[in-house]
Amino acid sequence: MINIFISSLIGSMVIIANGYIFNYLIFKKNINKFNIYKDSLLGFISIGFISLLLNFFFPLNKNISSIFLIFSIFTYIFFF
C-alpha cells in the first residue's frame, strides 16, 4: 500500500518537474509562478517528446527510464 503511494508521489513530482523545466527553458517563464495544471500538462508533453526522441536512438528500457527519472528529480531539486 505504501509502495503505491510513494510511486505515485514520485511520478507526479517527475511530471511537474519536467513541466517546470520545459516552461523555464523554452518559454523563459519565471518558476516562482506556480500553476500545477499547466505545468503538469507541459510535463506530459515534454516527457512524450523526449521519449520519442530517445526511442529513435536507443530502445526504451528500464535503465534509460531510470536515468531519465533520476535526472528529472535532480534537476527539480536544483531549481528549488
Alpha carbons 32 and 51: distance in angstroms, whole number = 27
For the chain, how many structural domains are there in total? 1
Predicted local confidence at residue 24, as pLDDT: 79
| Structural domain of 26 | 2-79
Reduced to 3 states, what is the DSSP secondary structure of residue 56?
helix
Helices (H) then strands (E): counts for the chain: 3, 0
What is the chain's pLDDT, residue by residue, as a tens digit (80 residues)?
A: 888 998 888 888 888 888 888 887 887 766 666 678 888 888 888 888 888 888 898 888 888 888 888 888 887 788 76
Predicted local distance difference test score (pLDDT) of residue 33:
67
Give me the pLDDT at residue 35, please.
75
